[in-house]
Amino acid sequence: MSRLEILFQKQSKRVLNVYCTAGYPNLNSTLPIMESLQSNGANIIELGMPYSDPLADGEVIQSSSQMALNNGMTIEVLFEQLSSMRNTIHLPVVLMGYMNPILQYGFEAFCKKAKQVGIDGLILPDLPLYEFENGYGKIISENGLDFIFLVTPETPETRLRKLDSLSTGFLYAVSSSATTGKDKDFSKVAQYLQRITSMGLKNPILVGFGIKDKESFDAVNVYTNGAIIGSAYISALSKGGDIEQCTKQFLNEVLGN
């Protein structure tokens, strides 16, 4: 059983996935941030691999990615940083990123190495269903990695069921068709979440895009198994100061501790 499966078996509500950009704010802050997230109540760590042209991300994450690239972050450096992560990190860790840097590294080599360092799953927003089914999906599953598809309020039901059937770990529900970090009209979001959570899907559902504080986290948890926070945490980190202090304060606020 994968770490993600075990997690959702133990905990079906208020699962908190926190996104951070590898190599941000400093090249070597990746692991300290992960440790800090783990000790302060996060349940899943989503590690963003920085890319120069991140189409599905908003301004906050894009600028953190640019800074991480300026700091010297690459996939190779990241794997080096993660090579001993399983000595301290027991949470599920998923990598989020874009296809181009992975293709340059070598898709199969990337999956192998990811598994080797203890990565549990992948979120690749610009790997579409058609390409997944035409080869990439096989490589991912052969290497024992989960793959998490995104679904949106515009995804038709038959397609949504298909994306659910091919996803393992969880399903990433985008709260509206928007790049990360924009405010949402919540009643529409609630309707959408109600609709997809009553479909009897095989995967747990985490909702992302627009979740930023206790209020929004609590609101979506009425419907889903949990949520993903990205831009809000990166914004908190961008204010500078001690990583542990900042993470503790941020997660305590979100979780209402």
Partner 1 sequence: MSIFNTQNDYQTPSAEGYYGEFGGAFIPEMLYENVATLQSQYLKIMQDPSFKAEVDALLKDYVGRPTPLFLAERLSKEIGATIYLKREDLCHTGAHKINNTIGQIILAQRLGKTKIIAETGAGQHGVATATVCALKGMECVVYMGEKDIERQAPNVARMKMLGAKVVPAKSGSKTLKDATNEAIRAWINEPNETHYIIGSVVGPHPYPDMVARFQSVISEEIRTQLKQITGNELPTHVVACVGGGSNAAGAFYHFLNEASVALIAVEAAGHGVNSGLSAATTQLGTHGILHGSKSIVMQTKDGQVVEPHSISAGLDYPGIGPLHAYLYESKRGTFLSATDEEALASAFHISETEGIIPALETAHAFSVLPKLNLKPTDVVVICLSGRGDKDLDTYMKYIKD
- Whether the CA torsion 64, 66, 71, 73 is positive or negative: it is positive
Phi then psi for residue 48, to 5 deg, are -85, 130
Q: Is 37:230 a contact under the CB 8 Å cutoff?
A: no
83 binds partner 1 (CB under 8 A): no
For residue 184, the minimal CB distance to partner 1 (Å) is: 11
Q: Does residue 178 interact with partner 1 by CB under 8 A?
A: yes
* Choice among 5, 35, 53, 57 that is catalytic: 57
- Considering CB under 8 A, how many residues would be counted as binding partner 1? 44
Rounded to a whole number of angstroms, the minimum distance from the CB of residue 224 to partner 1 is: 17
Taking the CB of residue 157, how many other CB atoms lie within 10 A of it? 10
Determine the longest span between alpha carbons in the chain, in angstroms: 47
Residues in the chain: 257
CB of 159 to partner 1, least distance (A): 8
Q: How far is the CB of 177 from partner 1 (least distance, A)?
A: 4
Q: Does 32 bind partner 1 (CB under 8 A)?
A: no
Q: How far is the CB of 129 from partner 1 (least distance, A)?
A: 8
76 binds partner 1 (CB under 8 A): yes
When asked if residue 188 is in the footprint of partner 1 (CB under 8 A), the reply is no
95 makes contact with partner 1 (CB under 8 A): no
> 22's torsion region: left (phi>0), alpha (psi -120 to 50) or beta?
beta
**158/138 Cα distance (integer angstroms):** 22
Interacting residue with partner 1 among 13, 90, 138, 182 (CB under 8 A): 182
- Least Cα distance to 30 among 67, 2, 55 occurs for 67
Binding to partner 1, residues 117-176 (CB under 8 A)? 125-128, 130-131, 134-135, 149-152, 154-156, 159, 163, 174
Q: Are 180 and 152 in contact (CB under 8 A)?
A: no
- Give catalytic status of residue 120 as yes or no: no
Among 35, 46, 146, 164, the active-site one is 46
10 forms part of the interface with partner 1 (CB under 8 A): no
Asked if omega into 32 is within 30° of 0 (cis), the reply is no
Quick one: angle between helices 30-39 and 75-82, nearest 10?
50
Closest CA to 5 of 219, 167, 154: 167
Is 57 annotated as catalytic?
A: yes
Site residues for partner 1 per CB under 8 A = 51-53, 55-56, 58-59, 62-63, 66, 69, 74-76, 98-105, 125-128, 130-131, 134-135, 149-152, 154-156, 159, 163, 174, 177-179, 182
Catalytic residues: 46, 57
